[in-house]
Amino acid sequence: MKFPALFGRIAFSTLAALIGAAFALPLLWFLFAPFNARAELGLAIPDPFTLSNFNTVFGNGFAMQALWNSLIQAVGGVILVGAAATLAAYALSRSSIPGKGAVTYILLLFSSVVSGSAAMVPIFLIISAAGLMDTHLAVILTFAGGLLPTAMFILRDFIDSIPKSYEESAMVAGASPVQAFFDVALPVIRPGIVVIVVWSFVNIWGSFLIPFILLRSSANMPAAVAIYSFYSEAGTPVVTLLAAYSLIYSLPVVALYLFVSWRFGFRFFGGIKA
Amino acid sequence: MTTEPITTEAKKVRNFSLLSNRAGAAFLTPAGLLVSVFVIVPFFWVIFVSFTNRTLLGRTALNPEFVGLANYLALFDPATFFQRGQFGFSLILTTQFVLASALIGQALLGLLLAWLIQTVPPWIKRLTETFVIAAWILPEVVIGFAWFAFLDRDAGTLNMMLNAIGLPSGDFLLDQPFWVIVVFNTWRGAAFSMMLFNSAFSSIPPSYFQAADVAGATSWQKFRDIAVPLIRGHIVTNLILITMWTFNTFTPFLLTNGGPSYRTELVSIYNYRVAFQDFQFGKGAAVGVIMMLINLAFALVYLSIGRKKKAPGT
């Protein structure tokens, strides 16, 4: 009975490889075009291989400004989400506030009901009423509010799994609860914080809809929106610029993914995507 | 409610509650404020706005009037409901999109991939996983442009390959826009299902499969009679999550702009067009309310399953 087993293995491997190849196909162009000075929408091996497209991107003020804006918004959002989620998750795990369970349930419910595409009108109106239209802060706050519930749940589960005895012994030794949090708990929670920080960064960095609605001036546009304007408004896309720019813009996401999968295994990265 | 203060105090000491209620409340405040303003307030505000004739520009931008159910009646007007570019058309299109790309495309492909990579050589597993996950993690605008190039009528990779095997080129974005976004969304999201099912499969004790091997079971029999029944809970969870995400996704906009002639206008894109291109905020808000009600139905099912699973202690 060895032959059918071997045959089955080959068939499985071939099928898996074929599906993998099918997934790779739409991205192939994207691997070659950035290094081709005459890149068009067709697939072509760069001849000669060149980095001139990247020089063009680095020389383009609007493109570089957009990357910088993405960084401001993602880092701003990450700091807010990281700090607020850590504090809140710690309180949900370690204090005995009445109604904790109900609050958790309601937050979970609201966070899955109020999606960006369903709530674009009220989000626009709130930002507009707050006088924050077309500012980095508008994007930062909106993302922080939207990502916080999920970040809190991931972190609360993480903190629940840490024995209370760490902080208890610190408090027996005379530390105040706040000291026990900052000096004892925080260092232990750090891996959990890293996970939600990476997760929020990738989410804000890659999102299109919220900045597309809330920002107007090119001085504030993040790369996600700037890229889109490169090819839809100019009529014909500036393919060489776009290809190289897309690659640069994707690098942080890929780097963070590799970091998380190396450090924690990729199941952490999955979790729940907003 | 009935516990006296002293008992609560005693309990506190026994449990050595690490954070007093006051400190706990302070810790919760920043997150509570942000979530209230950007998640909970929008939920109620959108309901309120949906009963007004608020617009983005003009007189009613500042002084919207209460119009009762007018926005909802306009959305559900039977005379135009099913016409292209109207709400009904968009809702039906979205339903088909969710069925084809999430429930059939992503879930089945994810299940197949998760099963295949259990047995294939490690290098094939790693290579396949890399591309499937790349499709999922790359920023949506980049993916949108990559597909735009991939499908280009004259030079795109897909048509190049079709020509190479003697088939005629096609302008797929123009001729088959619905199937393009179905395949696009399947491709984009299969990684999540694959990873979820993969971790579900690896939680099954290997001895079950070894026993089946001894009995001479084929891979298909093991899949159907052992693996699938054991991960049924994961399958339900996965189906609900990917349904909600696909229902709310805006990404196809980056590939098709909702067109040509409204043929890929999912409800999220319809909502955007009504509110931000036609400037009818009241009507857009009504679309948002209906989307949230649909989300609510799915979320309640999901949470009730989560609770049931937790109850017996698993």
3-state secondary structure chain B: CCCCHHHHHHHHHHHCCCECHHHHHHHHHHHHHHHHHHHHHHHHHHHHHCCECCECCCHHHHCCCECCCHHHHHHCCCCCCCCCCCHHHHHHHHHHHHHHHHHHHHHHHHHHHHHHHHHCCHHHHHHHHHHHHHHHHCCHHHHHHHHHHHCCCCCCHHHHHHHHCCCCCCCHHHHCHHHHHHHHHHHHHHHHHHHHHHHHHCCCCHHHHHHHHHCCCCHHHHHHHHHHHHCHHHHHHHHHHHHHHHHHCCCCHHHHCCCCCCCCCCHHHHHHHHHHHCCEHHHHHHHHHHHHHHHHHHHHHHHHHHHHHHCCCC
- Structural domain range at position A87: 73-270
The span from the CA of A257 to the CA of A260, in Å, is 5
Q: By CA distance, what is B154's nearest residue in A?
A: A42
Mean predicted confidence (pLDDT) in A64-85: 92
Structure tokens that stand for A115 in this block: 């999606």
A66 neighbourhood in chain B, CB within 8 Å: none
Cβ-defined contact of A41 to B148 (cutoff 8 Å): yes
Q: Phi, psi (5° rounding) for residue B159?
A: -70, -35
Q: pLDDT tens digits for A103-141?
A: 888 888 888 888 888 888 889 988 888 888 889 999 999
Structure tokens that stand for B250 in this block: 């805006």
Cβ-defined contact of A19 to B113 (cutoff 8 Å): yes
pLDDT grade for B308, boundaries at 50, 70 and 90 = low
pLDDT grade for B306, boundaries at 50, 70 and 90 = low
| 3-class state of residue A74 by DSSP | helix
pLDDT grade for B106, boundaries at 50, 70 and 90 = very high
Which pLDDT score, from 0 to 100, does residue B218 have? 83
pLDDT grade for B219, boundaries at 50, 70 and 90 = confident
Q: Is B2 on the interface with A (CB under 8 A)?
A: no
Number of folded domains that form chain A: 1
Residue A271 confidence (pLDDT) above 90: no
Bridge partners of B280, per DSSP, are B55
Residue A222 confidence (pLDDT) above 80: yes
Q: What is the pTM of this model?
A: 0.85
Which pLDDT score, from 0 to 100, does residue A167 have? 81
pLDDT: is A177 or B3 the higher one? A177
Q: pLDDT tens digits for B37-88?
A: 888 888 898 898 888 888 777 666 677 778 778 788 887 887 877 888 888 8
Lowest mean pLDDT among A75-79, B13-17, B219-223: B13-17
B125 neighbourhood in chain A, CB within 8 Å: 16
CATH number reported for the structural domain that contains residue A228 in this entry: 1.10.3720.10
Residue A57 lies in a domain: no
A142 within 8 A of A123, measured Cβ to Cβ = yes
Q: Cis before residue A48, ω within 30 degrees of 0? A: yes
A247 within 8 A of A30, measured Cβ to Cβ = yes
pLDDT grade for B2, boundaries at 50, 70 and 90 = very low
Q: Smallest Cβ distance to A145: which of B37, B127, B154? A: B37
Residue A35 lies in a domain: no
pLDDT: is B155 or A25 the higher one? A25
Residue A235 lies in a domain: yes
Q: pLDDT tens digits for B226-252?
A: 888 888 888 888 888 888 889 999 989
Q: Smallest Cβ distance to B27: which of A40, A88, A145? A: A88
Residue A63 lies in a domain: no
- The interface residues of chain B toward chain A in range 23-52, judged by CB-CB distance below 8 A, are 23-25, 27-28, 30-32, 34-35, 37-43, 45-46, 49
Q: pLDDT tens digits for A141-190?
A: 999 988 898 888 888 888 888 888 888 888 888 888 788 888 888 888 88
Q: Cα A74 vs. chain centroid, distance in angstroms?
A: 8
Which pLDDT score, from 0 to 100, does residue A84 have? 92
The span from the CA of B58 to the CA of B279, in Å, is 10
Residue A273 confidence (pLDDT) above 50: no
Q: Is A166 on the interface with B (CB under 8 A)?
A: no
Contacts of B49 (CB under 8 A, 6+ apart): A121, A122, A125, B64, B281, B282, B285
pLDDT grade for A216, boundaries at 50, 70 and 90 = confident
| 3-class state of residue A163 by DSSP | coil
Alpha-carbon Rg for chain B in angstroms: 25
Which pLDDT score, from 0 to 100, does residue A231 have? 59
Cβ-defined contact of A110 to B154 (cutoff 8 Å): no
Structure tokens that stand for B106 in this block: 């992503």
Contacts of B84 (CB under 8 A, 6+ apart): B261, B262, B263
Q: What is the mean pLDDT of chain B?
A: 83
pLDDT grade for A79, boundaries at 50, 70 and 90 = very high
Residue A225 lies in a domain: yes
Q: Smallest Cβ distance to A119: which of B46, B195, B281? A: B46
pLDDT: is B2 or B54 the higher one? B54
Residue A118 lies in a domain: yes
Q: pLDDT tens digits for A28-37?
A: 888 887 887 7
Q: Which CATH number fits domain B79-310: 1.10.3720.10, 3.20.20.120, 3.30.2000.10, 2.60.120.10?
A: 1.10.3720.10
Mean predicted confidence (pLDDT) in B194-213: 86
Alpha-carbon Rg for chain A in angstroms: 23
Residue A128 lies in a domain: yes
Cβ-defined contact of A177 to B150 (cutoff 8 Å): no
Q: Is B61 on the interface with A (CB under 8 A)?
A: no
- Name the CA dihedral angle for B244, B246, B248, B253, rounded to a multiple of 10 degrees: 180
Q: What is the mean pLDDT of chain A?
A: 82
| 3-class state of residue A95 by DSSP | strand
DSSP annotation of A274: -
State which of A52-56, A80-84, A147-151, B259-263 shows the largest mean pLDDT: A80-84
Residue A50 lies in a domain: no
Domain boundaries, chain B: 5-49, 79-310
Cβ-defined contact of A13 to B121 (cutoff 8 Å): yes
- Spell out a b/e string for A106-140, using b for 16 or more CB atoms within 10 Å of the CB, else e: ebbbbbbbbbbbbbbbbbbbbbeeeebeebbebbb
